[in-house]
A and B are shown apart, each in its own frame.
Chain A
Amino acid sequence: MDWEKVGLKMGLEIHQQLDTESKLFCPCRTELTDSEPDHDIVRNLRPTQSELGKFDRAAFEEAMRKLHFHYENYHEETCLVEADEEPPHPLNPEALEIAVTIALLLNMRVVDEFHTMRKQVIDGSNTGGFQRTGLVATDGHLETPQGTVKIENLCLEEDAARRIRETGDGVVFRLDRLGIPLVEITTDPSMSDPQQLREVAYQIGQILRSTRVKRGLGTIRQDLNISIRDGARVEVKGVQDLDLIPEIVEREVKRQLSLVEIRDTLQERGAVVEDKIFDVSEVFADTESRIISSAESVLAVKLRGFDGLIGVEIQPGRRLGTEMADYAKKRGVSGIFHTDELPAYGITEEEVRGLRDAVGASQGDAVVMVAHERVTAENALREVIRRAEMAIQGVPEETRKALPDGNTQYLRPLPTSSRMYLETDIPLFRIEDDLLEGIRRNLPELPSEKKERIMRDYGLSEDLASQLVKRNLVDEFEALTEFRVDTTVIASLLAYTLRELRREGHDVDGLGLDELRDAIKLLEVGKISKDALRDIVACMADEGLAAEDAARKLNLLLLAEDEIESIIQEIVEGNLDMISERGMGAMGPLMGQAMGRLRGRADGKVVNRILREKIQERL
């Protein structure tokens, strides 16, 4: 596709949790919890009319759903700050330091004063009704093969409460995530090549990983902003797989182009959406269709001039009808029926004719119907009407969710005029030059640089090196290379062995660098063999023993050469018949016996050498 021609514009917004000791404005840990909450706070959402006489579009939409917000909170894991019952504490300087580090790696200009601001949030995920945020840096850039990309802003902000589940009357949030420090990185919104978008997302990801940020699912969130010339700005949330970005963009462009085409056709046809909702239950009084007959009522609307367009595919497997259904589903129905797909679902051709008659639809008109309890069905059809009207206007501005196949699905309208003002409970924070210089002098290596370096300096394979980098183990690795031991042994202990042991159920998390140091030291001084390392570490983890004690317990301490000799002597003397019979051919079986007794306590090479000598003595 010719991106220039369609006027594609894209931007990226990345949210990344920081791995700090405590939250941004209170001393709580930054870990999530799955334990049973100690309290539940219930609050009601009531949108206030703004002074300009308008409801905030997004707030109004939420309010239409009459929500109660439940907040799960804890004695230990959360405090009154998250519940918005206690003023925030001063800014966490550790979080600011990490944010500044990231900003410098993105070639940004760091501000001299950090002003905490309140950004209005109305979906209930922030107990105060606002998110605290502050600008840390501006005007950065990254180089990509497709050209320079400007990084507009980096903000330090609080993560929102975790949405746990929806109940009949509202939403349950958990306060454990609320207040975990996040950086929000926004690029210039004028990229026009999907590959560049992917590349920038990748590079920012690499930079983030070189600093103290959280790892794992949900700790980084990528949002894409996509628009084309005749379309509208759409924000795609929840992109997990960076390789999917070009596909998402392509499919979103296709969707917007198709919607523009549908708009043109609708306008040509003079399409009109009628407000009236018809009760067509009569038509289906004796229907064979299970879904219809089990519903309390069947309601329908007439979309004049829409015939054939609701079934037009706008993304692979998704039609205009799917978009309408997404809106309707927000009001509690499981789906809609439209005449472009009927007869189907057990609805007969005759019933379709009856349906058309009942609403007075002529050729060229489409009918959308919903079978459900009356009030819900009516609300759902109002949404269909709303979405159909938007189709005549073109592409609506929306927040959409990324689906695993690269399609996107309607989530909510883009919020209107969100407000921002000073958080007057928190004094401003001066970013002194000293702090900035200190950070600038100690900027971390980027992951790619780090990988190259450890491959070069320690002779590691690319695979091992990238595992260490990916798992953030390079510091530990380098600490352990103080011992004169094969670096590959150390690297694979960190990168693979520990992971395998964990998977097998050994509690290796209790092992710190000091414990590993002890174990490696035994190897350096020749007290154990490298083959024994794995079992010794497992035993240390399971029983909390020191390395040497574990080795002794497992009988894995290497024997002195004379001890080995005397054991081999014993074996040779017990097998003199075999030796005289087979000569050096007895090596194999006797080596097996010897290793059976000496496994882990003697190096195979040494055993081999001594055994060979002892047999030769007898020949």
Chain B
Amino acid sequence: MLKMETVDKVDMIKNHGLTASENLEKFLKRIEAKNDDINAFLEVRGEEAIKRAEEIDARIASGKETGKLAGLVIGVKSNINVEDFNVSAASKTLENYTGSYDATVIRRIKEEDGIIIGMTNMDEFAAGSSTETSFFGPTDNPAAPGRIPGGSSGGSAAAVAAGMCDLALGSDTGGSIRNPASHCGVMGFKPTYGAVSRQGLLDLAMSFDQIGPLAADVSGISLALDVISGYDPADPTTLDSSPDLEVERELKGLRVGVVREFLEVTDEAIDEVIQGKLGAMEDEGAEIVELDFGYIDLCLPTYYLINYVEFFSATRKYDGRKYGHRIEDVCGSEVLRRIHMGSYISQKELSGKYYKRALQARSLIRREITGLLSHVDIIAGPTVPKLPHTLGEELEPMEMYAYDVLTVIANLAGIPAASIPAGDVGGVPVGLQLQAKPGDDGMIVSAMREIASL
């Protein structure tokens, strides 16, 4: 079967070529068949979705207007509030918590006639890069069975990779959308900080968190971005204006920055795949500009110190009174580690030693990377420096954190970044990461479109 672009599917549904119900039915069957093995979805509410699809079909049949996502089936990461779904953050803490309202992104999706089908698996409270720390068990990688799907939005990436939905939402704090997209061979997009409302997202680290889409093709990414981005009075950190997604730039003449240090920390086999892709881009007329970034060693410590402090602050509401269980009583070891570290670092008398320095380092990194970006249109490189490990393999925390070294920079600097399939190493997918200036989300989408058609 010829793979249909997401945007064409919407057209087909609107033009009576396919019904929303048929589209949904296919996915429900797929989930039924595969989810027990893959564990991408933690909760699926088929009946409600069917009703919703029928309602959309009825509107189309009677010639009424429908939204931009009419009939598309969407999976949502379990840390985004969806009314009546179990918003568990894959933690025992919230195992019984039911969303009482729709996050702003969900409201916008529903207004555009997207169909929410279920909640996807993830690392507990998004604190991980493998989806192994979920209280509900790990997720398998549909593109490389037996390996981790990456994380923390591993369920969302796996759901898209396994053909269980058209689009999925993830959240990206240090790479949690791009990392699993890379490992599962799909596309993932982290918007500019403030481009998408965080209202209704369960916080991991508020100054890094950003909701974004995962999809099998670029049109799915751009459709979803168009719907979910924009100012939200309920989130004071949202930007006044949405990024311009209508950018059209061909590869010819595009200035593509390649940071030497990003390649140096990357496994050789991955490096080769990336070089191959960069070569193909150059063949199409892209101008490769070599760049140096001197602070690669600062990135992980800076990122994790701030992450711990903000996570500690964010978890204080899980004290067992209002939502579920007291977090420290039931959470897994990585979540507990972050809480303890955050509690320690945020003490005022220690702030000069750790936290203040982390904030200073963050400003330094942000300035450096935006400085590099002023010379080029985009920066391209590997998304993740190593291949996903096999499920069940035990890693030390620092080994685990090393997966994130190339993705945390975009969060530290608040810039947009995406991962797009670049090839594979022995059948295991490898992603190419694209980063651009704040607000240049459209530049990345445009480059993704060009690269996908190479």
Q: How far is the CA of A421 from the CA of B315 in the complex (A)?
A: 13
Q: How far is the CA of A419 from the CA of B351 in the complex (A)?
A: 9
Q: Which residues of B contact A119 (CB under 8 A)?
A: 348
Q: Mark A131-142, 1 if CB is under 8 A from B, else 0.
A: 000000000000
A46, A48, A50, A118 interface centre (most CB from chain B within 10 Å): A48
Q: Mark B235-247, 1 if CB is under 8 A from A, else 0.
A: 1110000000000
Q: How far is the CA of A52 from the CA of B194 in the complex (A)?
A: 34
Asked whether any CB of chain B lies closer than 8 Å to the CB of A363, the reply is no
- Whether A417 and B347, one on each chain, are in contact in the complex, defined by CB atoms closer than 8 angstroms, is yes
Q: How far is the CA of A90 from the CA of B235 in the complex (A)?
A: 12
- Given A51-B340, A88-B236, A422–B349 Cβ distance below 8 Å? no
Asked whether any CB of chain A lies closer than 8 Å to the CB of B94, the reply is no
Name the residue on B nearest A417 (C-beta). B347
Expressed in whole angstroms, the minimum distance between the Cβ of B335 and any Cβ of chain A is 12
Q: Which of B106-114, B137-145, B306-314, B441-449 contacts A (4 or more CB under 8 A)?
A: B306-314
Q: How far is the CA of A437 from the CA of B441 in the complex (A)?
A: 34
Q: Which residues of A contact B340 (CB under 8 A)?
A: 51
- Whether B348 and A417, one on each chain, are in contact in the complex, defined by CB atoms closer than 8 angstroms, is yes
- Whether B316 and A87, one on each chain, are in contact in the complex, defined by CB atoms closer than 8 angstroms, is no
Expressed in whole angstroms, the minimum distance between the Cβ of A118 and any Cβ of chain B is 7
Q: Which residues of A contact B344 (CB under 8 A)?
A: 52
Count of chain B residues near A, Cβ 8 A: 30
- Whether A421 and B310, one on each chain, are in contact in the complex, defined by CB atoms closer than 8 angstroms, is yes
Q: Which residues of A contact B316 (CB under 8 A)?
A: 48
- Whether A426 and B355, one on each chain, are in contact in the complex, defined by CB atoms closer than 8 angstroms, is no
Q: Which residues of A contact B359 (CB under 8 A)?
A: 115, 422
Q: How far is the CA of A115 from the CA of B235 in the complex (A)?
A: 18
Q: How far is the CA of A420 from the CA of B203 in the complex (A)?
A: 18
Asked whether any CB of chain A lies closer than 8 Å to the CB of B353, the reply is no
- Given A48-B316, A51-B328, A420–B207 Cβ distance below 8 Å? no
- Whether B319 and A417, one on each chain, are in contact in the complex, defined by CB atoms closer than 8 angstroms, is no
- Whether B236 and A418, one on each chain, are in contact in the complex, defined by CB atoms closer than 8 angstroms, is no
- Whether B355 and A87, one on each chain, are in contact in the complex, defined by CB atoms closer than 8 angstroms, is no
Q: Which of B313-329 contact A (CB under 8 A)?
A: 313, 316, 319, 321, 328
Asked whether any CB of chain B lies closer than 8 Å to the CB of A456, the reply is no
- Whether A424 and B339, one on each chain, are in contact in the complex, defined by CB atoms closer than 8 angstroms, is no
Q: Mark A93-112, 1 if CB is under 8 A from B, else 0.
A: 00000000000000000001
Q: Mark B202-213, 1 if CB is under 8 A from A, else 0.
A: 010111000000
- Given A424-B207, A426-B236, A52–B343 Cβ distance below 8 Å? yes
- Whether A421 and B313, one on each chain, are in contact in the complex, defined by CB atoms closer than 8 angstroms, is yes
Asked whether any CB of chain A lies closer than 8 Å to the CB of B425, the reply is no
Q: How far is the CA of A204 from the CA of B401 in the complex (A)?
A: 48
Asked whether any CB of chain B lies closer than 8 Å to the CB of A261, the reply is no
Asked whether any CB of chain A lies closer than 8 Å to the CB of B15, the reply is no
Q: Which residues of B contact A229 (CB under 8 A)?
A: none
Name the residue on A nearest B342 (C-beta). A421
Q: How far is the CA of A171 from the CA of B351 in the complex (A)?
A: 32
Q: How far is the CA of A425 from the CA of B209 in the complex (A)?
A: 12
Q: How far is the CA of A417 from the CA of B345 in the complex (A)?
A: 11
Q: Which residues of B contact A417 (CB under 8 A)?
A: 347-349
Q: Which residues of B contact A87 (CB under 8 A)?
A: 234-236
Q: How far is the CA of A112 from the CA of B366 in the complex (A)?
A: 14
Q: Mark A282-323, 1 if CB is under 8 A from B, else 0.
A: 000000000000000000000000000000000000000000
- Whether A90 and B236, one on each chain, are in contact in the complex, defined by CB atoms closer than 8 angstroms, is yes
Expressed in whole angstroms, the minimum distance between the Cβ of A83 and any Cβ of chain B is 16
Asked whether any CB of chain B lies closer than 8 Å to the CB of A364, the reply is no
Expressed in whole angstroms, the minimum distance between the Cβ of A429 and any Cβ of chain B is 12
- Given A421-B355, A425-B236, A113–B363 Cβ distance below 8 Å? yes
Asked whether any CB of chain B lies closer than 8 Å to the CB of A89, the reply is yes
Q: How far is the CA of A113 from the CA of B367 in the complex (A)?
A: 12
- Whether A420 and B321, one on each chain, are in contact in the complex, defined by CB atoms closer than 8 angstroms, is no
Contact check: which of B234, B310, B319 meets A422 at CB < 8 Å? B310
- Given A51-B339, A119-B348, A421–B236 Cβ distance below 8 Å? no
Asked whether any CB of chain A lies closer than 8 Å to the CB of B19, the reply is no
Q: How far is the CA of A549 from the CA of B347 in the complex (A)?
A: 67
Interface size class for chain A?
20 to 34
Asked whether any CB of chain A lies closer than 8 Å to the CB of B346, the reply is yes
Q: How far is the CA of A190 from the CA of B136 in the complex (A)?
A: 56
Q: How far is the CA of A426 from the CA of B194 in the complex (A)?
A: 11
Contact check: which of B236, B237, B346 meets A419 at CB < 8 Å? B346
Asked whether any CB of chain B lies closer than 8 Å to the CB of A427, the reply is yes
Q: Which residues of A contact B203 (CB under 8 A)?
A: 424
Contact check: which of A50, A52, A113, A118 meets B313 at CB < 8 Å? A118
Expressed in whole angstroms, the minimum distance between the Cβ of B305 and any Cβ of chain A is 11
Name the residue on A nearest B199 (C-beta). A87
Q: Mark A447-491, 1 if CB is under 8 A from B, else 0.
A: 000000000000000000000000000000000000000000000
Q: How far is the CA of A88 from the CA of B312 in the complex (A)?
A: 21
Q: Which of B211-245 contact A (CB under 8 A)?
A: 234-237
Contact check: which of A46, A113, A421, A424 meets B346 at CB < 8 Å? A421
Q: How far is the CA of A87 from the CA of B232 in the complex (A)?
A: 12
Q: How far is the CA of A46 from the CA of B316 in the complex (A)?
A: 12
Q: Mark A399-434, 1 if CB is under 8 A from B, else 0.
A: 000000000000000000111111011110000000
- Whether A419 and B347, one on each chain, are in contact in the complex, defined by CB atoms closer than 8 angstroms, is yes
Q: Which residues of A contact B349 (CB under 8 A)?
A: 417
Q: Which residues of A contact B351 (CB under 8 A)?
A: 420
Expressed in whole angstroms, the minimum distance between the Cβ of A188 and any Cβ of chain B is 15
Name the residue on A nearest B344 (C-beta). A52
Name the residue on A nearest B349 (C-beta). A417
- Whether A425 and B355, one on each chain, are in contact in the complex, defined by CB atoms closer than 8 angstroms, is no
Name the residue on A nearest B347 (C-beta). A417
Q: Which residues of B contact A426 (CB under 8 A)?
A: 236-237
Q: Mark B361-374, 1 if CB is under 8 A from A, else 0.
A: 00100000000000
Expressed in whole angstroms, the minimum distance between the Cβ of B240 and any Cβ of chain A is 11
Q: Which residues of B contact A51 (CB under 8 A)?
A: 312, 328, 339-340, 343
- Whether A424 and B235, one on each chain, are in contact in the complex, defined by CB atoms closer than 8 angstroms, is no
- Given A87-B235, A422-B310, A50–B343 Cβ distance below 8 Å? yes
- Given A46-B321, A417-B347, A422–B236 Cβ distance below 8 Å? no
Q: How far is the CA of A47 from the CA of B28 in the complex (A)?
A: 47
Q: Which of B98-118 contact A (CB under 8 A)?
A: none
- Whether B236 and A89, one on each chain, are in contact in the complex, defined by CB atoms closer than 8 angstroms, is yes
Q: Mark B121-139, 1 if CB is under 8 A from A, else 0.
A: 0000000000000000000
Q: How far is the CA of A419 from the CA of B346 in the complex (A)?
A: 5
Expressed in whole angstroms, the minimum distance between the Cβ of B241 and any Cβ of chain A is 14
Q: Which residues of B contact A112 (CB under 8 A)?
A: 363
Expressed in whole angstroms, the minimum distance between the Cβ of B346 and any Cβ of chain A is 5
Name the residue on B nearest A88 (C-beta). B236
Q: How far is the CA of A88 from the CA of B236 in the complex (A)?
A: 7
Q: Which residues of A contact B319 (CB under 8 A)?
A: 48
Q: Which residues of B contact A118 (CB under 8 A)?
A: 313
Q: How far is the CA of A113 from the CA of B359 in the complex (A)?
A: 10
- Whether B237 and A425, one on each chain, are in contact in the complex, defined by CB atoms closer than 8 angstroms, is yes
Expressed in whole angstroms, the minimum distance between the Cβ of B303 and any Cβ of chain A is 13
Q: Which of B170-219 contact A (CB under 8 A)?
A: 194, 203, 205-207
- Whether B348 and A419, one on each chain, are in contact in the complex, defined by CB atoms closer than 8 angstroms, is yes
Q: How far is the CA of A141 from the CA of B203 in the complex (A)?
A: 41
- Given A88-B236, A90-B236, A424–B343 Cβ distance below 8 Å? no
Expressed in whole angstroms, the minimum distance between the Cβ of B361 and any Cβ of chain A is 13
- Whether A421 and B309, one on each chain, are in contact in the complex, defined by CB atoms closer than 8 angstroms, is yes
Expressed in whole angstroms, the minimum distance between the Cβ of B226 and any Cβ of chain A is 24
Q: How far is the CA of A424 from the CA of B199 in the complex (A)?
A: 13
Q: What are 5 inter-chain pairs, A to B, with CB distance below 8 A? A: A46-B321, A419-B348, A421-B310, A424-B207, A427-B237
Binding site for B on A (CB under 8 A): 46, 48, 50-52, 87-90, 112-113, 115, 118-119, 417-422, 424-427
Known: A48-B319, A422-B309, A426-B236. 14 other contacts (CB 8 A): A51-B328, A87-B236, A90-B236, A113-B363, A115-B359, A118-B313, A419-B346, A420-B348, A422-B207, A422-B306, A424-B207, A425-B236, A426-B237, A427-B194
- Minimum-distance CB pairs A-B, first 5: A424-B206, A87-B236, A417-B347, A419-B346, A51-B343
